[in-house]
Homo-oligomer: A and B are copies of this chain.
Amino acid sequence: MTIPERAQLALLLEVASTPKPGNVDRRHEYADLRFEHFLAGAVGAREGLAMASAGDPVGEAFERAVAGMAQQEGSNTQFGAILLLVPLVRAAATGALTPDRADAVVRETTTADAAAFYRAFDYVDVAVAPPPEGETALDVRRGGEAVPAVEERGVTLRDIMAISAAHDGVAREWTGRFERSFDAADRIASGTGPIPDRAARVFLELLAEEPDTFVVIQHDAPTAREVVEQARGTLDGERTPDDLAADLIEKGINPGTTADLVAAGLYIALERGEVQV
């Protein structure tokens, strides 16, 4: 397999892993966001992932992957996962996939990468937090309209991620050496049994450790903290993962950032040859 093939497979394995309470997986879906939307999202993302592997600018590769992903009727399926995969793919394409080398990719991003990142928001509705006070010109929800402001200020894509890191778990990976992604990979690699089962277990562990920032954005911080407690209780055997899944799906609570971390972890473990399908 090639690097973009492994990245695409990671996206597919993530959504195949079940149960991942609150998320779409092969046994759970929402009426308007179904399993097949994620399959189509992974199909469409591949060309952008191949661009990242081939050496195209990180921002352009990301924009292309999101544009491809968005060619299905379920809207945003894997925006955050792709945002994690693109720098990891780039690091893997030029040498060993390590936190140091992934961090170096992030530090090399430019203002052009930031502009492409903003344009990616034109393809799909992504739930994000409002920008900090005084940063409304750089609100990602403006999409391509914010590009002049991005260029005028000369911010890099890493700078943009640093602004969001306080409230967005994916941005925090970008500015924090992909710590939880690599941790997820280690756990998946050291697990036993079929890979989707390992990934589902790791999803629950991550969910029990930190509030999912997507839940904070879509609902609020208390809801996200409650999900942490529920995940802990599930790991302690107070309820089954399937019951938690049914409960969260019913409430529409969708810990999507934690799923993004699992996708990144799956890719790292596949790329380093620590797991094989």
Contact = CB atoms under 8 A, between A and B. Distances in A.
Interface stretch (A5-13, A119-127, A213-221): A5-13
Interface string A14-46: 001000000000110000001111011011101
Nearest to A41: B277
A34 B194 contact: yes
Question: Which range contains the number of A residues in contact with the other chain?
Answer: 20 to 34
A8 B45 CA distance: 12
Nearest to A276: B73
Please give the count of copies of this chain that the complex contains. 2
B46 A46 contact: yes
Which of A16, A27, A34: most chain B Cβ within 10 A? A16
Nearest to A31: B194
A44 B276 CA distance: 13
Contacts of A1: 40, 43-44, 71
A36 to B, nearest CB: 5
Contact of A40 (B35, B44, B74, B277): B277
A262 interface: no
B26 A12 contact: no
A114 to B, nearest CB: 28
Chain B CB within 10 Å — which of A9, A16, A43 has the most? A43
A35 B196 contact: yes
14 contacts: A1-B44, A1-B71, A5-B68, A9-B43, A12-B12, A13-B39, A16-B26, A16-B36, A16-B39, A26-B35, A35-B196, A36-B196, A37-B277, A39-B277
